[in-house]
Amino acid sequence: MIYALLLITLLIGVPFAFVILGTLLVFMIGAEFPYHIRIVAQQAFGGLHSFPLLAVPLFILAGEVMNEAGITRRIIALANALVGHMRAGLAQVNIWASVIFAGLSGSAIADTSTLGRVFIPEMEKEGYPRDFAAALTAASSVIGPIIPPSIPVIIYALTVSGVSVPALFMAGIVPGLLLATGLSIYVWFFAGHFGTRKTHAPGTRRKAVFSGLIPLFMPIAVIGSILLGVVTPTEAASFAVVYALIVGLVLYRSIPVSKLPRIFTRAMRDSAVIMIIMAAVSAANWLLTYNRIPNIITDWVLATIDSQIMFLIAVMLLLLLVGLVLEGIAAILVLVPILHPIAVGLGIEPVHFAILVIFNLMIGLITPPVGLCLFVADSVARVGLSAIVRRLMPMLLVEILVLIVIAFVPDLVTFLPRISGYL
User: Cα–Cα distance between 152 and 303 in angstroms, integer?
Assistant: 30
* Phi-psi group of 253: left, alpha or beta (phi > 0 → left; psi -120 to 50 → alpha; rest → beta): left
Residues contacting residue 348 through CB under 8 Å, at least 6 positions apart = 308, 311, 312
Closest by Cα among 356, 410, 415, 346 to 156:
356
Residue 366 in contact with residue 136, Cβ under 8 Å?
no
22 contacts other proteins (rule: CB under 8 A):
yes
Q: Which is nearer to other proteins, 176 or 371 (CB)?
A: 371
- Residue from 6, 61, 165, 335 touching other proteins (CB under 8 A): that is 61
Q: Which of 16, 59, 156, 169 is the binder for other proteins (CB under 8 A)? A: 16
Sites for other proteins among residues 363-402 (CB under 8 A): 369-370
> Which residue in the set 1, 4, 11, 257 belongs to the binding site for other proteins (CB under 8 A)?
11
Supply the minimum distance, in Å, between the C-beta of residue 95 and other proteins: 27
Residue span binding other proteins (CB under 8 A) among the ranges 10-18, 97-105, 208-216, 388-396: 10-18
Contact 92, 187 (CB under 8 A): yes
Which of residues 305 and 320 has its CB atom nearest to other proteins in the complex? 320
Among 71, 279, 281, 315, binds other proteins (CB under 8 A): 279
CB of 57 to other proteins, least distance (A): 6
Q: Give the one residue of 95, 160, 222, 330 binding other proteins; rule: CB under 8 A.
A: 330
Site for other proteins in 113-152 (CB under 8 A): none
Q: Dihedral sign, CA of 285, 288, 291, 293?
A: negative
Positions 233 through 272 that interact with other proteins (CB under 8 A):
234-235, 237-239, 241-242, 261-262, 264-265, 267-272
To other proteins, the closest distance from the beta carbon of 55 in angstroms equals: 9
Which is nearest to 215 in space by CA: 91, 99, 118, 122?
Answer: 99
Nearer to other proteins, 200 or 266 (CB): 266
326 binds other proteins (CB under 8 A): yes
Length in residues, the chain: 423
Under 8 Å between Cβ of 20 and 43: no
Of the pair 180, 284, the CB lying nearest other proteins is at: 284
Helices (H), 49-107: 55-68, 71-83, 89-102
Among 3, 4, 13, 33, the residue binding other proteins under the rule CB under 8 A is 13
SS3 307: coil
139-178 burial code (b ≥16 CB/10 A, e <16): bbbbbbbbbbbbbbbbbbbbbbeebbbbbbbbbbbbbbbb
Taking the least distance from each CB to other proteins, the nearer of 55 and 187 is 55
Tell me how far CA of residue 122 lies from CA of 115, 132, 214, 330, 381, in angstroms: 11, 12, 24, 34, 11
Strands of 122-223 (E only): list them.
Answer: none
Nearby residues of 204 by Cβ (< 8 Å), 6 or more positions away: 81
Asked if 190 touches other proteins (CB under 8 A), the answer is: no
| Binding-residue total with other proteins (CB under 8 A) | 63
Shorter beta-carbon distance to other proteins: residue 15 or 192: 15
Asked whether position 276 contacts other proteins by CB under 8 A, the answer is: yes
Q: Name the minimum Å distance from CB 79 to other proteins.
A: 30
Contact residues: other proteins, CB under 8 A: 9-18, 21-22, 25-26, 28-29, 36-42, 44-45, 48-51, 53-54, 57-58, 61, 231, 234-235, 237-239, 241-242, 261-262, 264-265, 267-273, 275-277, 279, 325-327, 330, 369-370
